[in-house]
Amino acid sequence: MIAPIEAHEELDSTNAEARRRAEAGNLGPVWIMARRQSAGRGRRGRTWDSPSGNLAATLLISTPKAPAEAAQVSFVAALAVSDLAEAFLGKGAGALKWPNDLLVHGRKAAGILVESGAAADGQLWLAVGIGVNLAQFPSDVERPATAFAEHMAGGPPSPDDALQVLAEAFDRWFGIWTREGFAPLAKVWSERAWGLGEPCEARLPNQVHRGIAEGLDLDGALKLRLDGGAILRITAGDVFFGEG
């Protein structure tokens, strides 16, 4: 069942609001949407710009899964965001770049930030934050960005309409993951992936590796084939496919 949606005019961060609720014992499920964020956050401590007209939302849920398995929810979110792009931009419009960026015509249009913590009942709370450039996109960013509006003649969907589509898609993929495990998600993710089979640079906190992106491992790690033929599992970091 789709979680209820709460819309707020402004929050510091939808993920921060989800964390506050989880730490107070409220584990959802609930979608928390903000029309504006004053302190939006992205992966690896980056700022996430949240201008009016874009989607900023976090799903707060809990799970009995262990942290390593629960982290696969980022692929649930990525597939849901890909479905959102197809719904408004057409089939095949959105490609997925490991671990969970949405690219539209090679430029970033959405990002996902999953945070978690231990709940008092022994479960794990998950804050699945999703930001989608619907109307506007930032120009002063590390990688080229775009917004849905650039690819739609009639204007982009409203954040409310986009979140309704996103929530339905998330619920569908979450159900598949819960019933069937990670394998069916990995299959579809790979079909929609950007850069598989191509030269890739993985930038980790203290080192850089170069090789060919082979695909997903059974747990969602990226398999990078190094020049010598060895396979290196990338579980965290940033990957670049020829964009510098």
* Per-residue pLDDT at 50: 67
Q: Which residues contact 191 (CB under 8 A, 6 or more apart)?
A: none
Same domain, 206 and 161: no
Q: Identify whether residues 20 and 46 lie together within a single domain.
A: yes
| 88 and 160 part of one domain | yes
Q: Report which of 39, 49, 43 is spatially closest to residue 12, judged by C-alpha positions.
A: 39
169-224 pLDDT, tens digit per residue, is: 999 999 999 999 999 999 999 999 998 889 989 988 888 999 999 999 988 999 99
Question: Distance (Å, rounded) from C-alpha 201 to C-alpha 79?
Answer: 23
pTM of the model: 0.91
Residues 142 and 65 in one domain: yes
The range of the structural domain enclosing residue 212 comes to 199-240
pLDDT of residue 138: 84
For residue 31, give every residue at least 6 positions away whose Cβ sits within 8 Å of its Cβ, in sequence order, or none. 3, 4, 5, 6, 57, 58, 59, 60, 163, 167
Please indicate, yes or no, whether residues 157 and 184 belong to a single structural domain of this protein: yes
Model pLDDT for residues 108-121, shown as the tens digit of each residue:
999 999 999 999 88
Give the per-residue pLDDT at 143: 76
Within 10 Å of residue 226's Cβ, how many Cβ atoms?
Answer: 12
User: Can you read off the two tokens belonging to residue 144?
Assistant: 């080229």
Quick check: 44 pLDDT over 50? no
Could you give the angle at the alpha carbon of 168 between the alpha carbons of 67 and 162, nearest 5°? 105
CA distance 127 to 70: 11
172 plus 215 within the same structural domain: no
95 and 49 co-located in one domain: yes
| Residue 74 belongs to domain with CATH number | 3.30.930.10
pLDDT reported for residue 43: 47
Q: Looking at the 3D structure of the chain, how many domains does it have?
A: 2
Together in a domain, 116 and 204: no
Q: Are residues 50 and 108 in the same domain?
A: yes
Other CB atoms within 10 A of residue 244 CB: 6
Question: Are 165 and 215 within one domain?
Answer: no
- For residue 99, the model assigns a pLDDT of 82
Residues 222 and 184 in one domain: no
Asked if residue 77 lies in contact with residue 170, where contact means CB atoms within 8 angstroms, the answer is yes
Summarised one tens digit per residue, pLDDT across range 146-158 is 999 999 998 999 9
Verify that 205 and 138 share a domain, yes or no: no
Q: What is the CATH number of the domain that holds 221?
A: 2.30.30.100
